[in-house]
Every structure is written in structure tokens, then in C-alpha cells.
Structure 1
């Protein structure tokens, strides 16, 4: 029996442009998958959640498993709120609450469309950004935790394994810039995908946190 995992989403998987002559996530994955497995990259650098639905249209008929990384570029698209003037902490929190509600709704809807394939699926959290400025990094990481809550809840409610990239890509050299995985980071991501594919009990119907 042969198995094929399809990678959906953004540059977390489609990081070829950021590793120069090094190995990207797909190359790492191809080397680490056990015999009888293959991988196909449907993810496209710069994609937002709405694009994942279009990526699904290219899903090979022989795909057996899915791994999805989405939401990071959607978060980037609303990041201006972090620099917006505010009358109070409460006012800022209300703005973030609105963003969170919209993000949660879009994420859940997109994930349900993916799960409609009935294929074993894992999703990824949004990793912590690595801005050079310490305060900017702290602000962004704190804001992302609000959106990552949507992802965690979606996984728990649907019994979907969650690959926590915040824990996996935990060093600065896991990134080539503030938001793109390096060759080293890509290797860690690929290893976590293999862990999901070879270690998760798919029939359990339980969510699982994958951190290595």
C-alpha cells in the first residue's frame, strides 16, 4: 500500500525561495518519509485561508493524508491594528476581539472544507515571529497567541492533530527572516509531519499536540 501526503497552505511549506541552495520542507520530507510514502506540495507562498480552498481543487486523487498550515498571512494582513491609536487597553482588546472572531470563523469554515475530504488531517499553529526589535517581537507574539487560540480550539473541537510550530521552531536560526522557515526550520517541520504520519492513531478521533 502506498500513501501520499499533500501539503496545503503557505510558505511554511512552500519555502523554496528562502533557503537558497539548501533543502526546503518538501525535500526534507521526501528524505524522511518511510518507504511507501510520497509527498506533494500544493501550498503556495503568500497564500491566505481563502486560497487553501483553491489548492484543494488540485488535490491528487491518490492523496491519503493532508497537512495544513494557514492563517499566518491572514494575521499579517491585519497587523496594522498593533500600531493603531487607542483610547484605552479595553478599546484595543475590543478591536482584537473583532479580529479574533472573524479569524476563528474563517479558520473553522476553511478547515471544515478540508475535512470534508474525509482524509486524515493535521493542522499547524502559527509560529512566533522573529522580529529583530525585541518589543516588536513581544507585541506580535502576544497578538498571535489570540489567533492561535482559534486554531487550538478548532483542532480540539474536531479531534484533529495539531503540529505546534511555536514549540518546534523555537530558535532564531529556524528562520531566514522574521517569518520564513530556514533550512534548519524546514527540517524540524518535516520531522514533525513524519511524526504525525507515523505516530498518530488516526481512528482515535482525538486531538493530539505534536511538538517534535
Structure 2
């Protein structure tokens, strides 16, 4: 029996933000074929280095992994946006340092996941939904350095990519500026199901889903 396990953060672990509406894992269990199973190991607030603990709790019958992580790592760096700098070059240097640190952490985690030799899909970090346009533009731009890492790792390792920036593209997809609503969760689940059912995991290539 195929068994999909969700790893990562509140993109998957969104029950707190949808009230009585179905969360991502509930919707996934409703969408997969009748003889399939799905489990949630993602934890709201987790960062890249927290996923190792999630991997230790994988069900023994796990057949597919889907990872959505990095948003909280980015949030922890948000203070850089308010720092005073002497030149624009200093800004790029700070962003480059953040990118390199994230790439090292994400690459290390992904290699641990791939060592399990289970079909795996990666998710980008979706854009925020801030009501103030300037802050929204800053957030979207800043996230590109984190998403660049995720996209490169997907292509370098030949694994499918779910681009949540394209999946969640309406205000109704968000319960607040950074968490998925029930509607957004349904879109995410549809992308996951499409990736798992349509991608040929026996071949090493990257296919983008949304």
C-alpha cells in the first residue's frame, strides 16, 4: 500500500490556521486513491535542521516523501531587511551569506533524505500575502534567494518540484500572510497528488508541478 509522508513546516501542518475546515493532511487523505495512506510528520515552526527529527519518526511502510521547508529559516533572517548599510554592495553580501548558509543546510538535509532511497518531491517556499504592497514586494524578492537553492537542488538531483508560488496565487489561498488556508491547502494537496501519481520516480529527472 503506497504511503505518502509530509515533512516540513506549517505549509503542511496548518490545522491551527483553518479552524474547523480540513487541514492539508485531512484533504490529502481524502484525495489519494482508496488503498493509499498519508501521514503528517511536518511540524508548524520547524526549520531545516528540525526535519532530521521528523525523519526518525517515519512509518516503516513509507513509500513517498514530500518536503516543504525553508519558510521559517527565511523568517529568522527577516531582521536583515531593517539593518542600515553603507552601500548596496553590503546588502548583496549579506544576502549572499544567507543563501550560502541555507544552501549548505538544505543540501545536507536533502542528501540524508535521498539516502533513504524513497521517491521524494520538493516544494518551493510560496510567496507571502502581505496587505502592504511595499512589504509584499520585499518579501517576494527576499525569498528568491531561498527558492533558488531549492530549485537548484531539485534539478541537480533529478527529483520533482512542486512550485508553491504558482500553486497559491490568490488571496483566498492564505489564512494569514504566511499560512495556507483550507482553499490553499486543497491546491497544495492537488499538486502533491499529481506529482506522486504522474511523475516517473524510476527515472532521474525534474518535473515541475503546481
Aligned residue-pair number: 210
- Residue 137 of structure 1 corresponds to 136
Aligned equivalents of 2:158 and 2:53: distance in 1?
24
Are 2:188 and 1:189 aligned? yes
Aligned equivalents of 2:129 and 2:86: distance in 1?
28
- Any idea what SS the aligned residue of 2:57 has? coil
- Any idea what SS the aligned residue of 1:170 has? coil
- Any idea what SS the aligned residue of 1:176 has? strand
Question: What is the CA distance between 1:35 and its match in structure 2?
Answer: 2.3
Aligned equivalents of 2:71 and 2:112: distance in 1?
18
Aligned equivalents of 1:203 and 1:185: distance in 2?
30
- Any idea what SS the aligned residue of 1:202 has? coil
CA root-mean-square deviation: 0.6
Question: What is the CA distance between 1:192 and its match in structure 2?
Answer: 0.5
Aligned equivalents of 1:207 and 1:81: distance in 2?
33
Aligned equivalents of 1:171 and 1:26: distance in 2?
21
- Any idea what SS the aligned residue of 2:108 has? helix
Give the TM-score taking structure 2 as reference length.
0.99
- Residue 100 of structure 2 corresponds to 101
Unaligned runs of 5+ in 2: none
Aligned equivalents of 2:209 and 2:85: distance in 1?
38
Give the TM-score taking structure 1 as reference length.
0.98
